[in-house]
Amino acid sequence: MPNHLYRLTANEVAHGIKNREFSAQEYISQILERIEKVDNKINAFIVVDKQGAMEKARSIDKRLHEGDYVGDLVGVAVGIKDNICIKELKTTCASKILEGYIPPYDASVIKRLKEKDAIVVGKLNLDEFAMGSTTEFSKYGPTRNPWNLDYVAGGSSGGSAASVAASECAVSLGSDTGGSIRCPSSFCSVVGLKPTYGCISRSGLISYSNSLEQIGPLGKTVLDVVMVMNAIAGIDENDQTTRPMTPTLPSEDIPTSNRLSKYTANQNKRNIDIGLVKELIEGADPVVSKCIYSAVDLFESSDCKCEETSMKSIQYALASYYTIATAEASSNLARYDNIRYGFDYNPEGYEWNTYFSNVRNNFGDEVKRRIIIGSYVLSAGYYGKYYLKAHMARERIRQEIKSLFEKFDVLIGPTMPILPFKIGEKLDDPLKMYQIDIDTVIANLAGIPAISIPIGFSNSLPVGLQIMADEMCEQTLFDVASFFEKIVDIRRSADI
Amino acid sequence: MVEAKIGLEIHCQLTGLQSKLFCPCKSDYRGEVPNTTVCPICLGLPGTLPLLNQRAVAFASMISLALGCKVQERVMFYRKNYFYLDLPKNFQITQYNAYGITSIGAEGKVELGTRSIRIRRVQLEEDPGRLIYENADVNSSFYTLIDYNRAGVALVEIVTEPDFDNPRDVRIFLNKVTSTIEHLGVCDTRLDGSLRCDVNVSLKGGKKVEIKNINSFRDVEKALGYEIARQKTMSIREIEVKSETRHWDDARKITIQSRSKEEEQDYRYFPEPDIPTIILGDQFISSLRAKMPELPDERKNRFLKDYTLSDHVAKVLIDNKELADFFESTIRLYPSSPNEIANWIISDLLGLVDDSRKEESSLLSGLGIKPKHIAELVKMIDQNKINRNIAKSILSQIARTGEMPSYVIDNMNASIIDSESKIAEAIDSIFKLEISAVRDAKHNPNATNFLLGKVMQMTGGRADPKITLNLIKARLAIMQ
């Protein structure tokens, strides 16, 4: 039995268990030990479901022993961002408000992971209600960057990225509203995908901004991300905004037998037309853009065509994003009144309005800020000035991106304009914090898929490359990402 | 005469649906144990998404078409944000006419005799839960119970332009709308709370007052009458009428100022992101039209044409689908005299309905009378077997017993022997048997009664007692 099972990729775990090289129980106990050992430093987990994980591992081993069928993700330890509901497991959104909330149902993605025999090991830390870019706004304290514990892990899916980088689970699920999967993936040197809007069911994802957000996988390799996508993507009757998984190529080019073909990570695609988004590279810290340019060199030396291009509507992206996101958030978060569920707070002696405002005072500052901004931009007299304008800007961005994809297969740039920074460094300036989302919000506004892959380190801190493709063209992203992965080997497991 | 301007907001529950508007929960919550017909979606639990009921869209489209509305190509839902205990998400998913996006139906018109009422919009939305207060008065209640069984039930809101100028027209309009909804089969209007109406009323040049909480359509007319009188009195005394929301006090039959200050609320409407835009289009509309049942106006025209009813009679029948259906069921059994049947239904049958029942929309359920009864009764009249007076008394007996008219008539014939010769035969036999009593009867009236009793006994109580007594007395007189 290999010594460090916990370091294995999802693909290696599933093969190892299927081929009886080691048992699911051996693997999961190593994972649980690893969490026990390192998570006090990382703080990636809010809840570890030891008992549930061990039980599932036992049942898998039993089925394997009896020669029964097992799913594609058999035994793989998965961490779940704590804004995705798991039946009978506390789901807090890292908020005091949901401290005592136990969902009575599984999110659709959880059902699908369970069907594929993945093992959910626990719930992962995030910024409260996924509002933030560093995982510092959590009731459970900040998640630390496994590459340097003094640094932020990125956010809001900080726990999802850090847990994978620290080998506390093989893969994880995050959610991405404006970069919340890609930002921490970049900061922690892992692969993270924000899929096309409608590609993955949001049923069971606690809404922050419905029209922007998607659940997505994080892993050490492109293949791991692909495996999780194959398990969770596709139309779902519990989310009417989902779409069927469609092939990347125009349907007439695909033989009918391949219509339902899954994503792959083994294509060695050449002659890719890559658009280098000028505005994104110019806006980045020089140490970051240096890494991007060396990635560009690598692509070019491998027969890819890289061409600089411009996306003028980027100037509206942040304003549009924060207007729409906060507007939707202000409405989504209205339901937390502690009447039906929530936290322990006795209503005795309060009149309703007082009780209600006392309850809602338990949101963190960042959440309150966004509720207030969102209520403002929707209010009578300002709706046209802010909310409608934001939608017009969004439409313009969408159109410009559409026309860019007539020319390019993918668009690339840095995932984050800066390197990971120290915990606490940007906490006192919300606007500065919002600005670091500039590169990632575009994909959410346009509804297109985007992936962040590790491309190197600067000052021992990870740098990520963001690749964007046209909607429903996840396969193109995987092709380009796995192509890059094959030519350069970047570390994805932090020593800790 | 001061001119009044009245507009209506009607809420109609789509009780014809099996499930709620956005989840698979049972739509029929009436009589269920509180908080049992609920699921994570209608409870608004975190992470749940609304799943639009396609049949509700079809139902609302049918209502729109029936009210002469244009059914929109593209339909979207909006969120109406406000905090209230009965609202699980603290916003209501509804529709909104703004920014080029409209509700399912818009710009309709309903003909009301010589005038027409414009329909501003017909929209789909979710019903909130039900609050149950400890006491009737909210302020003196120590606790409030919430039942979410109703939360998420599909409602269609029908909003008219302020095209009414008197309460009577409002009542006529509401009758027509009720009948239309009944004919479409989308709502059982007899169910308590399935049809609700808010009104707004202003006098010429004055501010608009909204009246809520009017629980029955019959009270709408009364509430309007009261409110118009109140506003008139105020303007005579030169007191300014405030723009406000008032509640209808069902017990005292007056409108009162709302306790809660419903100031200009900012509902922060914005498009619901979780429900994709619905494209209805011409094909949907024409297939819907093809499937639509006969509407009241069409049915009335058919009644006029096929049965040569008078306009008034046809209208009374059509205004209440129950009566129109009763009429046609009767015609099917006995097609010969539609006018006679119609008259029996709208005058005699309705005359038997309790006044208390007239408040309810179900008129006939308490009576034992079915179409087969009326059909037979009218047939017997046509055949000159009975006259109308007898038929009336038969009808009132049927109402209690549910017996067939022929059976009732047979029984009546048997029970009353009014032929003198038949009674005289009975008296003959009794006089022969009771010789001593006959002798006594000459001076003892008690003995006369004894003889009467004996005759009655013999005829099984069927002899007419008055005739019998007279005959006995006459016979005794002859014997003296």
| Cβ-based contacts of A395 with chain B (< 8 Å) | none
The residues, ordered by sequence, that sit 6+ positions from B363 with a Cβ below 8 Å of its Cβ are B320, B322, B323, B350, B353, B357
CB contact under 8 A, A378 and B44: no
| Cβ-based contacts of B91 with chain A (< 8 Å) | 331, 334-335
| Cβ-based contacts of A238 with chain B (< 8 Å) | 49, 51
| Cβ-based contacts of B266 with chain A (< 8 Å) | 379-380
Inside any domain, residue A207: yes
Measured in angstroms, the CA of A205 and the nearest CA of chain B are apart by 5
The residues, ordered by sequence, that sit 6+ positions from B467 with a Cβ below 8 Å of its Cβ are B418, B420, B423
Say if residue B179 is preceded by a cis peptide, omega within 30 of 0.
Answer: no
Q: Are residues B430 and B405 in the same domain?
A: no
Instruction: Tell me what pLDDT residue B360 has.
Output: 55
**A145 CB burial (10 A radius; 0-12, 13-18, 19+):** buried
Instruction: Tell me what pLDDT residue A256 has.
Output: 43
Asked whether the predicted pLDDT for residue B120 surpasses 70, the reply is yes
Pull the structure tokens for residue A400.
Answer: 């410009």
Phi, psi of A52 (to 5 degrees): -60, -40
CB contact under 8 A, A104 and B83: no
Residue found under tokens 């009195």: B233
Cα A292 from Cα A464, distance rounded (Å): 8
Q: Are residues B88 and B237 in the same domain?
A: yes
Q: Are residues B325 and B474 in the same domain?
A: no
What's the sign of the alpha-carbon dihedral A310, A312, A315, A319? Answer: negative
Asked whether the predicted pLDDT for residue A411 surpasses 70, the reply is yes
Q: Is B358 helix (H, G, I), strand (E, B) or coil?
A: helix
Q: Are residues B366 and B232 in the same domain?
A: no
Domain final position from B284, B319, B334: B284
Q: Are the CB atoms for A145 and A152 separated by under 8 Å?
A: yes
Measured in angstroms, the CA of B376 and the nearest CA of chain A are apart by 55
- Taking CA B314 as the corner, what is the angle to CA B308 and CA B319, rounded to the nearest 5 degrees? 160
SS3 letters across B291-345: HCCCCHHHHHHHHHHHHCCCHHHHHHHHHCHHHHHHHHHHHHHCCCCHHHHHHHH
Cα B36 from Cα B42, distance rounded (Å): 11
Number of domains in chain B: 3
Domain containing B137 equals: 4-284
CB contact under 8 A, B40 and A334: no
Inside any domain, residue B187: yes
Q: Give me the active site residues of A, please.
A: 81, 156, 180
Task: Give chain B's mean pLDDT.
Answer: 86
CB contact under 8 A, A93 and B273: no
Give the residue from A466, A462, A468 showing the smallest Cα distance to A490: A462
Tens of pLDDT along A320-366?
A: 999 999 999 999 999 999 989 999 999 888 888 899 999 999 999 99
- Minimum CA–CA partner of A91 in chain B: B46
Cα A462 from Cα A185, distance rounded (Å): 9
Inside any domain, residue A9: yes
CB contact under 8 A, B273 and A211: yes
What is the tally of helices (H) and strands (E) in chain B?
17, 16
Question: CA-CA distances (angstroms) from residue B152 to A240, A337, A338, B117?
Answer: 17, 19, 20, 30
Cα B223 from Cα B197, distance rounded (Å): 11
Measured in angstroms, the CA of B308 and the nearest CA of chain A are apart by 52
Residue B309 CB neighbour total at 10 angstroms: 23
Tens of pLDDT along B246-270?
A: 888 878 888 888 755 555 678 999 9
Q: Are residues B234 and B313 in the same domain?
A: no
Number of domains in chain A: 1
Domain final position from B226, B261, B284: B284
Task: Give chain A's mean pLDDT.
Answer: 93
Provide Rg for chain A, Cα atoms. 22
CB contact under 8 A, B91 and A204: no
- Minimum CA–CA partner of A82 in chain B: B47
Cα B447 from Cα A117, distance rounded (Å): 103
Q: Are the CB atoms for A233 and A217 separated by under 8 Å?
A: no
Cα B44 from Cα B47, distance rounded (Å): 8
Give the residue from A411, A495, A376, A444 showing the smallest Cα distance to A182: A444
What's the sign of the alpha-carbon dihedral B67, B70, B71, B72? Answer: negative
Report the C-alpha dihedral over residues B246, B247, B248, B249, rounded to 10 degrees. Answer: -120
Residue from the list B44, B46, B52 with its beta carbon closest to the beta carbon of A240: B52
Least confident of A54-63, B32-41, B205-214, B458-467: B458-467
Tens of pLDDT along B12-25?
A: 999 999 999 999 99
Inside any domain, residue B42: yes
Inside any domain, residue A361: no
Residue found under tokens 């999780």: A228
SS3 content of chain B, % helix, strand, coil (to 5): 45, 20, 35
Inside any domain, residue B289: no
Average pLDDT over residues B155-162: 95
CB contact under 8 A, B46 and A93: yes
Q: Does B85 reach chain A within 8 Å, measured CB to CB?
A: yes
Tens of pLDDT along A272-294?
A: 899 999 999 999 999 999 999 99
Instruction: Tell me what pLDDT residue A202 has.
Output: 98
Pull the structure tokens for residue A233.
Answer: 């993507």
Q: Does B89 reach chain A within 8 Å, measured CB to CB?
A: yes
Measured in angstroms, the CA of B266 and the nearest CA of chain A are apart by 6
Q: Does B215 reach chain A within 8 Å, measured CB to CB?
A: no
Domain containing A176 equals: 5-268+412-487
Sequential DSSP letters for B251-288: TTTEEEE-SS---------EE-TTSPPEE-HHHHHHHH
What is the CATH number for A88?
Answer: 3.90.1300.10
Among B residues 14-43, those touching chain A with beta carbons less than 8 Å apart = 40, 43
Phi, psi of A424 (to 5 degrees): 90, -15
Q: Are the CB atoms for A17 and A23 separated by under 8 Å?
A: yes
Instruction: Tell me what pLDDT residue A264 has.
Output: 86
Cα A101 from Cα B7, distance rounded (Å): 45
Q: Are residues B361 and B454 in the same domain?
A: no
- Minimum CA–CA partner of B264 in chain A: A380
Instruction: Tell me what pLDDT residue B48 has.
Output: 97
Give the confidence band of A253 by pLDDT, cuts at 50, 70, 90: very low
Q: Does B80 reach chain A within 8 Å, measured CB to CB?
A: no
Instruction: Tell me what pLDDT residue A270 has.
Output: 67
Measured in angstroms, the CA of B268 and the nearest CA of chain A are apart by 5
Asked whether the predicted pLDDT for residue A269 surpasses 70, the reply is no
Least confident of A420-424, B61-65, B300-304: B300-304
CB contact under 8 A, A93 and B40: no
Q: Are residues B178 and B298 in the same domain?
A: no
Residue from the list A239, A339, A378 with its beta carbon closest to the beta carbon of B270: A378
**Residue bearing the bigger pLDDT, B339 or A330:** A330
The enclosing H or E element of A47 equals strand A45-48
Instruction: Tell me what pLDDT residue A150 has.
Output: 97
Measured in angstroms, the CA of B105 and the nearest CA of chain A are apart by 23
Asked whether the predicted pLDDT for residue A456 surpasses 90, the reply is yes
Say which amino acid occupies A321.
Y
Average pLDDT over residues B413-421: 64
Instruction: Tell me what pLDDT residue A228 has.
Output: 97
| Cβ-based contacts of A203 with chain B (< 8 Å) | 47-49
Cα B200 from Cα B10, distance rounded (Å): 11
Q: Are residues B328 and B402 in the same domain?
A: yes
Q: Are residues B337 and B432 in the same domain?
A: no
- What percentage of chain A has pLDDT greater than the value 70? 95
Cα A297 from Cα B452, distance rounded (Å): 129
Inside any domain, residue B371: yes
Q: Are residues B409 and B429 in the same domain?
A: no
Pull the structure tokens for residue A397.
Answer: 């961005």
**Residue bearing the bigger pLDDT, B49 or B176:** B49
Give the residue from A60, A69, A75, A65 showing the smallest Cα distance to A28: A75
Inside any domain, residue A382: no
- Minimum CA–CA partner of B86 in chain A: A339
Residue from the list A107, A237, A378 with its beta carbon closest to the beta carbon of B47: A107
Provide Rg for chain B, Cα atoms. 31
Cα A278 from Cα B169, distance rounded (Å): 68
Measured in angstroms, the CA of B246 and the nearest CA of chain A are apart by 22
Residue from the list B49, B51, B146 with its beta carbon closest to the beta carbon of A202: B49
Domain final position from B363, B385, B415: B415
Phi, psi of B424 (to 5 degrees): -60, -40
Least confident of B42-56, B380-394, B404-418: B404-418
CB contact under 8 A, A383 and B47: no
Residue from the list A85, A239, A379 with its beta carbon closest to the beta carbon of B46: A85
Cα A378 from Cα A419, distance rounded (Å): 35
**Residue bearing the bigger pLDDT, B309 or A98:** A98
Please tell me the total number of residues recorded for chain B in this structure: 480
Which stretches of B1-152 are assigned E, i.e. beta strand?
4-13, 70-71, 74-75, 78-81, 91-94, 105-112, 115-126, 130-133, 144-147
Least confident of A45-59, A335-349, B348-362: B348-362
Asked whether the predicted pLDDT for residue B224 surpasses 60, the reply is yes
Give the confidence band of B417 by pLDDT, cuts at 50, 70, 90: low
CB contact under 8 A, A103 and B146: no
Q: Does B101 reach chain A within 8 Å, measured CB to CB?
A: no
Among B residues 41-60, those touching chain A with beta carbons less than 8 Å apart = 43-52
Cα B236 from Cα B225, distance rounded (Å): 17
Sequential DSSP letters for B99-117: TTBB-SEEEEEEEETTEEE
Inside any domain, residue B23: yes
Residue from the list B47, B88, B89 with its beta carbon closest to the beta carbon of A85: B47
Q: Are the CB atoms for B274 and B52 separated by under 8 Å?
A: no
Q: Is B144 helix (H, G, I), strand (E, B) or coil?
A: strand
Instruction: Tell me what pLDDT residue B354 has.
Output: 66
ipTM associated with this complex: 0.94
Q: Does B343 reach chain A within 8 Å, measured CB to CB?
A: no
| Cβ-based contacts of B78 with chain A (< 8 Å) | none
Tens of pLDDT along A353-370?
A: 899 999 999 999 999 999
Asked whether the predicted pLDDT for residue B1 surpasses 60, the reply is no
The residues, ordered by sequence, that sit 6+ positions from B353 with a Cβ below 8 Å of its Cβ are B363, B364, B366, B367
Q: Are the CB atoms for A453 and A485 separated by under 8 Å?
A: yes
Instruction: Tell me what pLDDT residue B322 has.
Output: 86
Size of interface A-B (CB pairs under 8 A): 98
Cα A167 from Cα A220, distance rounded (Å): 9
Tens of pLDDT along A364-398?
A: 999 999 999 999 999 988 988 999 999 999 999 99
Q: Are the CB atoms for A151 and A420 separated by under 8 Å?
A: yes
Least confident of A68-77, A243-252, A366-375, B326-335: A243-252
Residue from the list B146, B268, B273 with its beta carbon closest to the beta carbon of A210: B273
| Cβ-based contacts of A373 with chain B (< 8 Å) | none
Tens of pLDDT along A176-208?
A: 999 999 999 999 999 999 999 999 999 999 999
